[in-house]
A and B are shown apart, each in its own frame.
Chain A
Amino acid sequence: MSDDRTGDDGAAVVAAVEAVAERIEEERDHLTQLDSAIGDADHGGNMARGWAEAADAARDLDDPDAETVAKTVGKTLMGEVGGASGPLFGGSLVFAAGELDEGITSETAVAFAETYLEKVEDRGDARVGDQTMVDALTPAVHTFKKSIEVDDLDPIEALAKAVDAAERGVAFTVPIRARKGRASYLGWRSVGHQDPGATSTLFILEELLAVAAERLGVDVPEAAATSPTIPDEDPDEAGDDPAADPGDD
Chain B
Amino acid sequence: MVGLVVVSHSERAAEGIAEVAAEMAGDTRIEPVGGDGKGGIGTVPDAIEAAIDAAAGGAGDGAGSADGGDSNADGVVVLVDLGSAVMNADVAVELSDAEAVIADAPVLEGAVNAAVAATDPSATIESVREQAEAARDIEKL
Q: Do A and B bind each other?
A: yes
- Residues of A bordering B, CB below 8 Å: 75, 78-79, 82-84, 86-88, 90-91, 94-95, 123-124, 182
Residues of A within 8 A of B87 (CB): 84, 86-88, 91, 123-124
Tell me, rounded to whole Å, the shortest Cβ–Cβ distance linking B57 to chain A.
25
- Residues of B bordering A, CB below 8 Å: 36-37, 40, 42, 44-46, 83-84, 87-88, 90-91, 94-95
Tell me, rounded to whole Å, the shortest Cβ–Cβ distance linking A50 to chain B.
12
- Find the residue from B44, B46, B88, B90 having the highest chain A CB count within 10 A: B88
Q: Which 7 A-B pairs have the closest CB atoms?
A: A87-B87, A91-B91, A84-B84, A82-B42, A78-B45, A87-B91, A83-B84
In the bound complex, do residue A82 and residue B90 qualify as a contact, i.e. CB atoms below 8 Å apart? no
In the bound complex, do residue A123 and residue B90 qualify as a contact, i.e. CB atoms below 8 Å apart? yes
Q: Whole-angstrom distance between the alpha carbons of A151 and B94 in the complex?
A: 35
**A87-B46 in contact given A79-B37, A82-B36, A95-B94 (Cβ < 8 Å):** no
- Find the residue from A78, A94, A95 having the highest chain B CB count within 10 A: A78
A-B contacts, 28 of them at CB < 8 A, read A75-B46, A78-B44, A78-B45, A79-B37, A79-B44, A79-B45, A79-B46, A82-B36, A83-B83, A83-B84, A84-B83, A84-B84, A86-B44, A86-B84, A86-B87, A86-B88, A87-B45, A87-B87, A87-B88, A87-B90, A87-B91, A88-B87, A91-B45, A91-B88, A91-B90, A94-B95, A123-B87, A123-B91
Q: Which residue of B lies closest to A46 (CB)?
A: B42
Q: Which residue of B lies closest to A88 (CB)?
A: B87
**Residues of B contacting A: mostly:** helix
Residues of A within 8 A of B36 (CB): 82
Residues of A within 8 A of B37 (CB): 79
Number of A-B contacts (CB under 8 A): 46
Q: Whole-angstrom distance between the alpha carbons of A90 and B43 in the complex?
A: 13
Q: Whole-angstrom distance between the alpha carbons of A82 and B94 in the complex?
A: 19
Residues of B within 8 A of A88 (CB): 87
In the bound complex, do residue B94 and residue A86 qualify as a contact, i.e. CB atoms below 8 Å apart? no
Tell me, rounded to whole Å, the shortest Cβ–Cβ distance linking B97 to chain A.
15
Q: Whole-angstrom distance between the alpha carbons of A84 and B97 in the complex?
A: 23
Residues of B within 8 A of A86 (CB): 44-45, 84, 87-88
Residues of B within 8 A of A83 (CB): 42, 83-84
Q: Which residue of B lies closest to A95 (CB)?
A: B94
Tell me, rounded to whole Å, the shortest Cβ–Cβ distance linking A131 to chain B.
16
Residues of B within 8 A of A182 (CB): 83
Tell me, rounded to whole Å, the shortest Cβ–Cβ distance linking A199 to chain B.
19
In the bound complex, do residue A78 and residue B84 qualify as a contact, i.e. CB atoms below 8 Å apart? no
Tell me, rounded to whole Å, the shortest Cβ–Cβ distance linking B33 to chain A.
14
Residues of A within 8 A of B91 (CB): 78, 87, 91, 94, 123
Q: Whole-angstrom distance between the alpha carbons of A182 and B82 in the complex?
A: 11
Q: Whole-angstrom distance between the alpha carbons of A83 and B85 in the complex?
A: 8
Q: Which residue of A lies closest to B37 (CB)?
A: A79
Q: Whole-angstrom distance between the alpha carbons of A106 and B7 in the complex?
A: 40
Q: Whole-angstrom distance between the alpha carbons of A12 and B94 in the complex?
A: 28
Q: Whole-angstrom distance between the alpha carbons of A45 and B27 in the complex?
A: 43
Residues of B within 8 A of A90 (CB): 45
Tell me, rounded to whole Å, the shortest Cβ–Cβ distance linking B106 to chain A.
18
Residues of A within 8 A of B90 (CB): 87, 91, 123
